[in-house]
Amino acid sequence: MKTQNQHAPARTISSVFTGRGFVKDSLIFWAVVAGLAVLGALIGDNYIRHVFILVFIWCIVIASWDLILGYAGIFNYAQLVFFAFGAYSSAMLSIYAGFTPLLSIACAAGVGAAVGALIALPSLRLKGEYVALFTFAVHLALPPVIQQGKAIGMGGHTGLLGVPWLNLFGHQVSTIDKLTWFWVSLAFGSVCVYLIYFIVLRGRMGLAFIAMRDAGTFAQSIGVNEGKYKLLAFVVSAVFTAIAGGVYAHYTTVVTPKILGTEFFLMAMVMIAVGGLGRFPGAILGVFIVVIGNELLRSFDDYRLLLLGVAVVILVIFFPGGLVGLQRRRSAGRGGQ
């Protein structure tokens, strides 16, 4: 009976990730993206557009984290480290080296890959909660390093100011041009999310990640190289997250150590907890709910983080599978009746 359960996930994944299911899911995904693009033109309030821009950027970060934490089952808590390296490297290349913002973002992806590999190599020797402790320690250690990095152009406590605007076909896209940024961030977000969920996770690499997560010993017995795929999980996740960091830097034109602060980390945790790990589109739904909800809670000032923390506790205790997991349990209950 145990052997059947181990093989069942692979058969289910294989049937969903190929053929008509893949085409149908892709069409639905791009239809939603098209609808959001039209919505951007219909929205007349720049503040609402700004909130959606943050949503699209966060979608990349959380989808990347879902890849390594939810699908590969690796307890990585250095996700915002990749985001910070992407933001700082893209900003510094634009300011000091004169790179165009798009080239800087592309280079930031390469920096993210290198950082992901550096963090992955020690993690390969660790298991479970020890990976979590190591990666969280890296997260805690980076802000002091950045604050002391003024001599190498990182701006120290004040960060980097005046990051160049995005340049599209000779047109400077300023921060106040919310409509263009809405479409630009949607383009970056949709392409990255599609590559993560529809290309990486629905291919051989994704199957290897899920096999490692659900049945590590069995996966190794059928030839899955655990070390190789763990390294790939870190690198791929870091690449996409660094891209998000680069986009964020050129949108806000300011990069400071605050991006590694408690608020950003807690928000990311809430996003992935609300939607559900390893359950597309759960993590993406979590981003929309939390970012929009966080903006609605701005009037509560200091109590906002407390409310987010309470939300995480409630979700973990009563809805461990997130909103998507809750929906699936209801569907299963109706099916059983």
- Model's pTM, two decimal places? 0.89
Residue 318 lies in a domain: no
pLDDT at 3 over 50: no
Residue 33 lies in a domain: yes
Tell me how far apart the alpha carbons of residues 60 and 82 are, in angstroms, rounded to a whole number. 12
Residue 168 lies in a domain: yes
Tell me how far apart the alpha carbons of residues 320 and 70 are, in angstroms, rounded to a whole number. 13
CA 78 to chain centre: 11
| pLDDT recorded at residue 326 | 62
Residue 217 lies in a domain: yes
| Total of domains in the chain | 1
109-120 confidence digits (pLDDT tens): 999 999 999 999
Residues 6+ apart with CB under 8 A from 127: none
Number of H helices, E strands in the chain: 14, 4
- Written as one letter, the residue type at 35 is G
Residues 6+ apart with CB under 8 A from 122: 134
What confidence tier does 308 reach under pLDDT thresholds 50, 70, 90? confident
**β strands within 60-129, DSSP E:** none
- Closest Cα partner for 288 from 56, 61, 29? 56
15/329: higher pLDDT? 329
C-alpha dist (Å) from residue 214 to 8, 102, 262: 11, 38, 31
| pLDDT recorded at residue 2 | 41
Residue 89 lies in a domain: yes
146-171 confidence digits (pLDDT tens): 888 777 888 888 889 999 999 887 88
| pLDDT recorded at residue 14 | 38
Residue 265 lies in a domain: no
Residue 300 lies in a domain: no
Tell me how far apart the alpha carbons of residues 290 and 114 are, in angstroms, rounded to a whole number. 30
Residue ranges making up the domain that contains 70: 2-260
Residue 329 lies in a domain: no
% the chain with pLDDT above 90: 58
In this structure, what token pair is assigned to residue 326? 């809750």
